[in-house]
Structure 1
């Protein structure tokens, strides 16, 4: 778990820190490279800290409502950053007033308040009024304050800079494997299982319908092979070990004879039991097909059977339950452990 989590303007830090600043939407491999660099330049005895912003600055500055959804909502971002060894997390409320802050004031205010010994950012980092602050200004003001500044070059994959926008585009096109390559892990959405219409159960394919997922960027509608980590929670805390299953996920409108409300519903291969109220964290492994409309329940039933066969062939087993923390290995685990001939 994170040692310290602060929302809003943080208090004076009681320890020296290496401060990484950025949006960190997705905590993708480019962000991870920045964190790796921060660990490498950290003076002895300092704590690794991340300053991020909420809501997404692009939404505040442009009004683009697509950015009300994020690749990693706050809880998900905290979980990933904690796994990467971050000791302090500062979530700064980003609004028009904050966006208008003088860039030099920004460095002085947060550099001293957070006792930054080093500040580490990506080379395209911009800050302050109208984005007028850049890495050159950051170095100038940092030098005056006795703060070292390290600027990290972007990570490039297939000739393009890795970015959250690129990952969003992959998801919008259903390219979940491409998104995984840039994230360094499968794209994951966490929700709570709620009652649905029981249409799937009626034709022999019960599904877990996920609620509480509105903050996430949604993938293109369609049918996906997934892994799913299922656990019980009480007041936000996990009270049971995660059980990890493979499954078939339907994203979009109800894939029945009618209905068009976007949702995520997952059928777990080989599962029987009660999932209502449990937390389900689904990781997208591969897109199987487009969403379809069916003329009859029988046609839908036959297609879902084929989807399950496709997923079973991909993972190598039709009925598999795993326990532990293998979800973090995602499809890499599938391919290395179950994908061999």
Structure 2
């Protein structure tokens, strides 16, 4: 997969015709996957490249000053996930104050038409341009003037709830790890750094990127390093400097690994009578 970093000043990028999916795609969840697969099939049908346009950082970091934002998929992880989806070309668009002020018509001209997208695929609630003035209706009207067509993917739900990055974030923070696969498509996975602990069988962990981690509690996890996967537990409670993982095979691990959160360990209380 070719990764191209673009900003508002880039013009004249030599791009072959392509079908382009556009969105932030944090987590690349099941709703995103449906959209991406639709774009992929259209690209194959039209014998052109399958491309994606995403943005970095998240708009809230620029518009709302949320500089400590945590992600389901920090950009390096998102790039890997999109490559696994079969994307041929990824445009990573710099979201800065200048880009935030772009008018919707200029976004279409500069980031769709000039990049030679022949078909654009977005979600039903996609917005763009200054103060989110652009939407799917605006894009549809633009197809009458510009040489691209449009697909709008409807809302995807599970058990009556819209599948979204926001919902998945809320589930992670509430510790509902066993429900995550129904929305994300897999268990939630985080890359972490390992710090040796004085206590045998324990390692302190810190996220290696800007991943969102669950709130306080204990969780069953799968710990993967290379081709080795072991079962363990993740613990984070008030007063702890860092979260910890425990496993009877913990001493076999090196400095980095990934944690797959399986379910929360519910505390058991006893009542004396």
Return the TM-score normalized by structure 2.
0.89
Q: Is the 8 A contact 1:22 1:121 kept in 2?
A: yes
1:247 and 2:232 aligned: yes
Q: Please state how far the C-alpha of 1:170 moved relative to its aligned partner.
A: 0.6
Structure 1 residue runs of 5 or longer lacking an equivalent are 232-241, 254-258, 293-341
Q: Please state how far the C-alpha of 1:152 moved relative to its aligned partner.
A: 0.5
Distance in 1, matches of 2:55 and 2:237, equals 30
Q: Please state how far the C-alpha of 1:157 moved relative to its aligned partner.
A: 1.3
Provide the residue aligned with 2:214 in structure 1: 219
Runs of 4+ in structure 1 deviating by more than 4 angstroms, as ranges, are: none
Structure 2 residue runs of 5 or longer lacking an equivalent are none
Provide the residue aligned with 1:260 in structure 2: 240
Q: Please state how far the C-alpha of 1:58 moved relative to its aligned partner.
A: 2.3
Q: Please state how far the C-alpha of 1:264 moved relative to its aligned partner.
A: 3.2
Distance in 2, matches of 1:152 and 1:7, equals 26
Provide the residue aligned with 1:73 in structure 2: 74
Q: Output aligned runs, 1:178-197, within 5 Å.
A: 178-196=179-197
Q: CA RMSD in A?
A: 2.1
What secondary structure does 1:223 align onto? strand
1:271 and 2:249 aligned: yes
Q: Please state how far the C-alpha of 1:112 moved relative to its aligned partner.
A: 2.5
Distance in 1, matches of 2:235 and 2:115, equals 45
Provide the residue aligned with 2:33 in structure 1: 32
Q: Please state how far the C-alpha of 1:164 moved relative to its aligned partner.
A: 0.8
Ranked by relative contact order (alpha carbons within 8 Å, sequence separation 6 or more), the top structure is 2
Distance in 2, matches of 1:249 and 1:265, equals 6
Provide the residue aligned with 2:141 in structure 1: 140
Q: Is the 8 A contact 1:207 1:265 kept in 2?
A: yes
The correspondence for 2:262, drawn from 275, 281, 285, is 285
What secondary structure does 2:77 align onto? helix
Q: Is the 8 A contact 1:221 1:291 kept in 2?
A: no
Q: Output aligned runs, 1:96-115, within 5 Å.
A: 96-115=97-116
Q: Please state how far the C-alpha of 1:212 moved relative to its aligned partner.
A: 4.1
Distance in 2, matches of 1:185 and 1:63, equals 31
Q: Please state how far the C-alpha of 1:126 moved relative to its aligned partner.
A: 0.6
Provide the residue aligned with 1:91 in structure 2: 92
Q: Please state how far the C-alpha of 1:290 moved relative to its aligned partner.
A: 5.5
Tell me which protein shows more helix as a share of its residues. 1
Return the TM-score normalized by structure 1.
0.72
Distance change in 2, residues 1:14/1:90 (3 Å): closer
Which deviations, in whole Å up to 9, do the C-alpha atoms of 1:187-208 show, x marking residues without a partner? 0100222233x23x1xxxx123
**Size of the alignment, in residue pairs?**
265
Provide the residue aligned with 1:6 in structure 2: 4
What secondary structure does 2:178 align onto? helix
Distance in 2, matches of 1:14 and 1:62, equals 33
Distance change in 2, residues 1:276/1:54 (3 Å): same
Q: Please state how far the C-alpha of 1:40 moved relative to its aligned partner.
A: 2.6
1:48 and 2:46 aligned: no
Distance in 2, matches of 1:45 and 1:71, equals 32
Provide the residue aligned with 1:128 in structure 2: 129
Q: Please state how far the C-alpha of 1:274 moved relative to its aligned partner.
A: 4.1
Which deviations, in whole Å up to 9, do the C-alpha atoms of 1:109-129 show, x marking residues without a partner? 111332111100001111111
Q: Is the 8 A contact 1:252 1:291 kept in 2?
A: no
Q: Is the 8 A contact 1:108 1:141 kept in 2?
A: no
